[in-house]
Amino acid sequence: MKIIYKFRKKIWSFFRFIIIFVTGFVVIYPIIYMISCAFRDKNDMNNPTVVWIPMHFTLEIIKETLRAMDFGNTLKNTLFLCIGCSILQVFSCSVTGYGFARFNFRGKNFLFAVVIMMILVPPQVISLPLYTEFIRFGIDRFFTVNLLDSMLTMYLPAMTANGIKSGLMILIFRQYFSELPKELENSAYIDGSGALRTFLLIIIPNAKSIFLTAFLFSFVFYWNDYYMSSVFFTDTKTIAIVLANLENELKMNLFSGTAVQISPREMIVWNEAGCLIAVAPVAVMYIFLQKYFTDGIEHSGIVS
């Protein structure tokens, strides 16, 4: 009996390896290409014998791209934006999701349809109304303030659960909270604590994994957002904006003055280096955070 069990386990782990390997390969393939291109000399792009392993290994391209992106300042801006927005967005969306999951009120179904529409309506549609709102923020004739090019243009929507892809977050939170056992809160309500207190003290500790997931999503969405931030920001640069304008940045900062001719094929090395720089920090962050995804949780506070 035990041998059969062990044998089955061996077979499964073999198949698991095959599945992960094959599907993972599809993901990894462009990544390998990216890394391979980022570390090669630009002349290797014209050399047909170089496919994967660069002939002239160099760190110059990465260094040049970092310089062109003004990496230190850009990273500081981006982190300031991402961390602030993610925390605000996760909090506002979780409260909203909790409301949809646990409370009954008039117009709930209609409001939830609005949440679904938030996923559906692309940012391109709402960017112009938001722009006109932020350029003269406040009440007309009493006081207005121009919020453009300040972080508030991103913080305010995040604070009010209207940030980037907030609809998806609210949906996830709602689905998670609605399956938590009601007994969790009952004892807190009997002890006389209010809804917000219950949420902070009972629900959040029991929903760590979903908060982590939502934070990761939020961070990635803000990290990658170039559309909204390029609408609102004029001088503030984030990594996504710089990456989207990488060619211009390179021309301005690196190739100026020198009459170098860069063919589109040679341009690839800088492009891929830029991608690597933009992707690597989030990937590293995920490696550190994913260990908190541990199997199974104990719902503390339930007496059965």
CA distances 28 to 23, 50, 196, 254, 265, Å, are 9, 19, 44, 30, 22
Residues within window 61-100 making contact with another protein, judged by CB under 8 A? none
Q: Which two tokens stand for residue 94?
A: 């979780």
Closest to another protein by CB, 134 vs 222, is 222
Of 17-25, 53-61, 83-91, 136-144, the window that binds another protein (rule: CB under 8 A) is 17-25
Closest to another protein by CB, 20 vs 252, is 20
CA 184 to CA 22: how far, in whole Å?
Answer: 42
Closest to another protein by CB, 23 vs 73, is 23
H or E stretch including 138?
strand 137-139
Of 20-28, 82-90, 129-137, 146-154, the window that binds another protein (rule: CB under 8 A) is 20-28
Of positions 61, 210, 228, 250, contacts another protein by CB under 8 A: 210
How would you label 40-59 residue by residue, b for 16+ Cβ within 10 Å and e otherwise? bbbebbeeeebeeebeeebe
Q: Does 138 bind another protein (CB under 8 A)?
A: no
Classify the phi-psi angles of 107: left when phi > 0, otherwise alpha if psi is within -120 to 50, otherwise beta: left
Q: Does 157 bind another protein (CB under 8 A)?
A: no
Residue whose tokens read 């902070």 = 200
Closest to another protein by CB, 147 vs 167, is 167
Of positions 40, 42, 45, 81, contacts another protein by CB under 8 A: 45
CA 281 to CA 82: how far, in whole Å?
Answer: 12
Of positions 119, 195, 231, 254, contacts another protein by CB under 8 A: 119
Shortest distance, position 144 Cβ to another protein, whole Å: 31
Contact partners, residue 213, CB within 8 Å, separation at least 6: 172
User: Residue 138: beta bridge partners?
Assistant: 144
Shortest distance, position 72 Cβ to another protein, whole Å: 20
Of positions 78, 89, 213, 229, contacts another protein by CB under 8 A: 213
CA 259 to CA 242: how far, in whole Å?
Answer: 23
CA 124 to CA 112: how far, in whole Å?
Answer: 22
Nearest to 233, CA basis, from 165, 126, 151, 135? 151
Of positions 91, 137, 189, 226, contacts another protein by CB under 8 A: 226
Residues within window 99-118 making contact with another protein, judged by CB under 8 A? 112, 116-117
Q: How many residues bind another protein (CB under 8 A)?
A: 71
Residues within window 241-270 making contact with another protein, judged by CB under 8 A? 243-244, 246, 264-265, 268
Q: Which two tokens stand for residue 28?
A: 């990894």
